[in-house]
Amino acid sequence: MTIEVLKPGALSTFQDLGRIGHQHNGIPVSGVMDERSHRLACMLVGNAPSQATLEVTLLGPTLKFEAPAVIAVCGADLSATLGGNTLPLGTQVSVAAGDLLSFGKRASGLRAYIAVAGGYALQPVMGSTSTYVRGGFGGAQGRPLQKGDRIALGPAATGTPSVDANGFMFPKEVQRPSGTPLRIVPGREWQAFEPCAHRAMAEQAFRVSPRSDRMGYRLEGEPLRLLQALELQSEAVSFGTVQVPPDGFPIVLMADRQTTGGYPRIANVATVDLPRLAQVMAGDELRFEWITLDAAQKLAVVQGEIFRMMEAGRGVH
């Protein structure tokens, strides 16, 4: 069972939950940018969340299915169609041999996730099938899809349940509407910044720079200033770390982030808001809101419990 790539899209890469346990060797975690959409797509087709989805960015691919399959698309609304008909997001859909999955004009969001029952037949590298383009490994030969690629599929489990994501709603305190402020907690060097920098993080609108990518989002706005110059050793960073280089313009580290960083860290984006951040485009405005570390951890626990209940309820493991 294979899929033929007729058009590759702007940036289509296979991603799973990331390459865990190798940062001490300088290997980035990578993985999906929007974990919530990835896990929903996997659940809808009966796959484990550890299996890869195809993460497509802004301009989606055109894929020809050479055998029947069951698929789900979650995340951004990129006007997906199947066989020329509108394909609804967050719903399990049966695909016939010869059907074309295509994408059109972006309606909302930035990244969509395509899951296929049985998963994609990919060779793991260091325990993960995630694509790390800068390193040239993982996924499909360590690169985005190209025209003419053929994607092999794994065998689908029998009796895949018919479900849709609309039956699995996150509490509003976990999944807030797009456009609401992203929640942040103070970073390790928070106290080294001027009080006006603390206020600016909560009061001003930042614009996402065109120089943003899967490694980091560069933000434009009022520069954030330190009380005095700092000399820091490089230390571990994480998905959502907000670093501030000498020019004062913050960078939010994303899935393909480096393993360490030497810039002062004013904040960290709460885990539950990283999926919303992943759907923001260059040129969009971002606003932030300070919360406590305890509040952020409680929200992460709630989201994790919801994922576990969803996946256990559908026999996903």
The CATH number assigned to the domain holding 244 equals 2.40.100.10
Q: Say whether both 240 and 134 belong to one domain.
A: no
pTM above 0.75, yes or no: yes
Please give the tally of structural domains in the chain: 2
User: Parallel, antiparallel, or unpaired for β 288-290 and 182-186?
Assistant: parallel
Q: What's the confidence (pLDDT) of residue 161?
A: 58
Give the domain extent around 72.
2-168
Q: Say whether both 140 and 209 belong to one domain.
A: no
Q: Which two tokens stand for residue 278?
A: 């992943």
Q: Say whether both 229 and 290 belong to one domain.
A: yes
Q: Say whether both 122 and 190 belong to one domain.
A: no
Mean pLDDT across the stretch 8-21?
97
Residue 313, domain member (yes or no): no
Residue 162, domain member (yes or no): yes
Q: Which two tokens stand for residue 195?
A: 């009080």
Give the separation between CA 145 and CA 140, rounded to whole angstroms.
7
As a whole number of Å, the end-to-end CA separation of the chain is 23
Q: Say whether both 46 and 161 belong to one domain.
A: yes
For residue 131, give the nearest of 148, 149, 143 by alpha carbon.
143
Last residue of a domain, one of 111, 133, 168: 168
The model's pLDDT over 206-262, given as tens digits with 9 standing for 90+, comes to 999 999 999 999 999 999 999 998 889 899 899 999 999 999 999 999 999 999 999
Q: Which two tokens stand for residue 281?
A: 């485009």
The model's pLDDT over 179-201, given as tens digits with 9 standing for 90+, comes to 899 999 999 999 999 999 999 99
157 has a pLDDT exceeding 80? no
If one compares 167 and 29, the residue with the highest pLDDT of the two is 29
